[in-house]
Amino acid sequence: MSSTEQGTSSAAPAEPTTAPESAAAPEVPESFYYVHGKDKVVHKVSAGALQHSALIHGMISNLGYTEEQAKANPFPFENIDGDILQMVVDWCNQHKGKPTPPEDTNLPKQKEKLFDLVLAVNYLEIKELLTYCCKQVAMMVKGKSPEEIREIWMIPTDAEDEAAEKEAKKRAGKEAAGETAAAAGDAK
């Protein structure tokens, strides 16, 4: 993946309007980290962009990797599909160091992609993106009848809930009986 970090201008302004001490402050080189998903494709992401993810930010702070160590040890996210991780990385890059807007219209429209994105974002603890995604999921049922909501979010009926509960009780009873029988066998 090509790094999409925004370039920072190194040229000093002709007539600085900021305080002299801030203009004289040395620029700290940006550090980069590497992540990969299920598809093992490695993405290079700046520490600034990764700040959106509380999980990765915590990992970075705790590990204290050098650039070489970071390159040699990409963070593996085997539970996230490659295309979903790409979306997350793109979002983090786009919103690096910027205040997040109240709406985000670039989220996937397909239900299954959005579903996977929500799970990934929740796992990576990217609060703002999670809020956008949840808003979009909530919009899916705007102005829908209860039956339509049930279909969209695959919610079981009361009868199905009751049957599942009975089944779970039955299974738990069988497992408990099996354990008792096994314990009795061991005692013999």
Partner 1 sequence: MKLSKYPLLVQNEILHNMKYTDLFLMSFVSKKIKELIKSSQALRFQSINRIVYGFSVNGLPVVYVPCPGGRIVTFVKQWDKKGFQLNISEKLIDFGILESSYCPVAFLAPSDQESIIRSLHDYFLDFFGNTVEYCWNTKYNPDQEELFIPQLGNLTACSIQNEGGYGQSLKKSAAFFDKAPVVTGQ
The yes or no reply on residue 47 touching partner 1 (CB under 8 A) is no
Q: Which whole-number Å values give the CA distances from 84 to 44, 91, 121, 130, 137, in the listed order? A: 15, 11, 9, 13, 16
What residues between 116 and 145 interact with partner 1 by CB under 8 A? 118-119, 122, 130-131, 134-135, 137-138, 140-145
Q: Which residue has the tokens 């996937």?
A: 108
Shorter beta-carbon distance to partner 1: residue 59 or 140: 140
Nearest-approach distance from CB 124 to partner 1, in angstroms: 13
Of the candidate residues 146, 185, 187, 188, the single one contacting partner 1 (CB under 8 A): 146
Nearest-approach distance from CB 165 to partner 1, in angstroms: 10
The yes or no reply on residue 79 touching partner 1 (CB under 8 A) is no
Residues interacting with partner 1, by CB under 8 A? 111-112, 114-115, 118-119, 122, 130-131, 134-135, 137-138, 140-147, 149-150, 152-158, 161
